[in-house]
Amino acid sequence: MLQASILLLIVSIWFPGATRIAGTDGSISFLLALFCGLVSLVPYAEATKRLHRTDTALATAVLTTSALIMVLSLLSALHADNPVRTMRAVFAQVFGFATIPTIALIAARPRSFEAIDRIGMTMAMMVAVTSCLVVIGLGDARFADRAEGYFKHANQLGIALSAGLPLVAAKLVASRRHRILLSVCLLAGLLGLVKSGSKTNFVLGVVGLGTFYGLYCIYLVIRKQRPVTVIAATVTAPILFQASFMMLQFLNPRAYKLLSLQLSGGEAHSIVSRQRLWSISIDLGLSHPFMGVGAGQWVGDIAPHSHNLFIDYFRTLGVPGLALVVIMVLLVVGYLISAVLHTLVDRGRSEQATEVNVMVLGTSVAVWNYLVANQMSDSFGPSTAAFFWLPLALLIVYRGMQRSLQNGLAKTPRLYVGTGSQLLEVEYASRTSP
């Protein structure tokens, strides 16, 4: 039941505009997330006693911070101009309580590796499906020079794809099967990113892919493996980087022109308008430093959010909201940096250890891409928040698998690879057997 629910949730988050209830985008996604959270939260609280303390501490700290943000958002309805919109911030945090406990519980079950792999493959497939719908313009996924797919805005589609591409690349590198299919998914994702017309997310997506493959090459060099692959990647990386910009120039000339203007030091309209929006938002935050103007409130009549995660929380929830979101981001960034560093020096040689290590790198880059993208657009909105929580939940689970493999708890394919009770039972039995 949990696995089916999380897979349905993954599919639904790519179609917030097509899953409306009473005209509200992403309603079905929210209901699925609420169901996953209610079903998994109690057993997860018990399971945390048997998980690694670092992973438990991060999940607990992040979810506690998220809960406090929800409380502040609900309290802000008392003074907000539009109390209904305060629920937008609450919806965004609900995905955290849905994905982290649910995926952790799935990882604690028998055959957990296959189940988690299925979740990653579903994300990869949805990157390709959404991109293909954008290209052919089916349904709401119409394309002029800024395609929004089934999201409200093109930037939201760009955020989803830039966060999803590192996962696709990681699955492509780690998997021995479906490589042709995953290669098609990766190419389709890049094409969808070009069609979205989101310049920031296009650069972020391409750089994110380069970062992932760069980390993977460092991983191989440290382990003294596959030197031909490393040399080939070093030679082809600048060629592929240039090819991606040529694809943008050919398929979306307007986006290419604006991006060239920005990179050459010119002032594009989008940058100027964002700077003005940030200035107004900071002034509003300074005018309401303790309570903010209320979660989810418009920036006057200009925009629905501040197009910057930290500025938006300062404007809407004041200094307390800004402090909470800064704590959350610092916790997550510190965790993913630690995960990447430990992965690069990991000495595990088994096929399973390699796959887990590659997925740790891919999910880390995916989380990083989402955080960076929210410094220019969307401000952790409910339509894209799941693209932060899902990679983070997968990162925590893969990091737990990595620890288990490093500790020698999974020496044969018959042992369950996960962070749950089965692994600990195996360890306990091995220690107490005569």
pLDDT 10s digits, 95-151: 999 999 999 988 887 778 888 999 999 999 999 999 988 888 766 666 556 788 888
Q: Which residues contact 299 (CB under 8 A, 6 or more apart)?
A: 277, 280, 281, 284, 305, 306, 315
Q: What is the DSSP letter of 108?
A: T
Q: Over the stretch 263-304, which tens digit does the pLDDT of each residue have?
A: 766 666 677 788 899 999 999 999 999 999 999 999 988 888
Q: For residue 142, what pLDDT is reported?
A: 60
Largest distance between two CA atoms of the chain:
74
Q: Quote the CA–CA distance of 71 and 93 in Å, as a whole number.
A: 11
- Please give the full DSSP string across 179-193, using - where no structure is assigned: HHHHHHHHHHHHHHH
Please calculate the CA angle 124-130-135 and round it to the nearest 5 degrees.
125
Q: Over the stretch 381-402, which tens digit does the pLDDT of each residue have?
A: 888 999 999 999 999 999 988 8
Count how many domains the chain has.
1
The candidate with the shortest Cα–Cα distance to 316, out of 90, 16, 65, 158, is: 90
Q: For residue 431, what pLDDT is reported?
A: 39
- 162 backbone dihedrals φ, ψ, rounded to 5°: -70, -30
Q: For residue 413, what pLDDT is reported?
A: 39
Q: Which two tokens stand for residue 392?
A: 């983070």
**Residue range of the domain that includes 400:** 2-432
The candidate with the shortest Cα–Cα distance to 38, out of 76, 75, 1, is: 1
Q: Quote the CA–CA distance of 118 and 420 in Å, as a whole number.
A: 18
> What is the average pLDDT value for the chain, to the nearest integer?
84
